Amino acid sequence: MNTPLNLDETERLKSLSEYEILDTPPQQVFDDLTDLAAVICDTPMALISFVDADRQWFKSKVGTTLSETKREDSICLHTIKSKEMLVIENVSTDSRFSNNLLVTGYPKIKFYAGAPLISEKGYALGSLCVLDFQPRKLSEVQTRLLKVLAGQVMQNLELRRLQKVRFAKVNIMNDMASVIAHEINNPLTIINSHATLIAVSLEQEMFNQKFVVESAKKIINAVKRISKIITNLKEISLGERTVAVEEVRLVDLIDESISYCKERVDEHQI
């Protein structure tokens, strides 16, 4: 049975999922911080722990082979509940944890100190904690540095999230650029082909007024299409894009589509 934290638990879990950190492989930057925490606090165990809906998952670990535990067995759950540094000098004598499986069984924890990992939105996602197999204390300097390291964990986590967002935006921009290039390339092909045909017919004195008029109309329509695409892009960039209902003749739409296809087919001599 899951232990509730507060009324914001749904939002906290949503915030945790936004970082896309759960079940990711080890990363040196986080392992270095975990190692440093263990060295500074002189403890055999250190963890970067994230509390999910039904489990506690370890992004980085020192001194244990566990990769996760049940949520109800998580001592870090109490750290994120208070959003404050939690130090328990003798876990086995604390009524909250005396029957905890991590205390009575492997790895038989006796000491716990955890600094909460607070997101930019103010949610406690987990903790950077150090543990020992015997009761002990932390000095003021060790306590302060553990908090500093927890802040470094979140800074790296935030940087990782921003990099993923930027990468996604770049992919979106690349996709948009491809679509825009395709949309503009079609009318440009029409303009180029008909302008060329008009120039050739005039140079060779094969002037055909009807042909020139029809070609000129196609060039004008192609220019209008490009202009419309550019106008739409400007509206989108300014956040003014609205969905406008426009009446069109289906036969004109079909003719235009066939015309675009024909120009590309002719261009490639198919």
- Read off the pLDDT of residues 11-54 as tens digits, 9 standing for 90 and up: 999 999 999 999 999 999 999 999 999 999 999 999 999 999 99
| Class of residue 184 by CB neighbours under 10 A (exposed 0-12, middle 13-18, buried 19+) | middle
* CA–centroid distance for 47 within its chain: 24
Q: Residue 244: what pLDDT?
A: 66
Contact of 101 with 73, CB cutoff 8 Å: yes
- Say what the pTM is: 0.63
Residues 6+ apart with CB under 8 A from 200: 206
Q: Are 2 and 71 in contact (CB under 8 A)?
A: yes
For the chain, the first-to-last Cα distance in angstroms comes to: 67
Digit-by-digit pLDDT tens for the chain (270 residues) are 344 445 589 999 999 999 999 999 999 999 999 999 999 999 999 999 999 999 999 999 999 999 999 998 889 999 998 899 999 999 989 888 878 888 888 888 999 999 999 998 899 999 999 999 999 999 999 999 999 999 999 999 998 888 878 776 666 777 777 777 777 777 777 787 778 878 877 777 776 777 778 888 888 888 888 888 788 777 777 766 565 667 888 888 787 777 667 766 676 777
pLDDT of residue 126: 96
Count of CB atoms within 10 A of residue 156's CB? 15
The DSSP call for residue 2 is P
**Burial (CB count within 10 angstroms: exposed 0-12, middle 13-18, buried 19+), residue 23:** exposed
Residue 233 is predicted with a pLDDT of 75
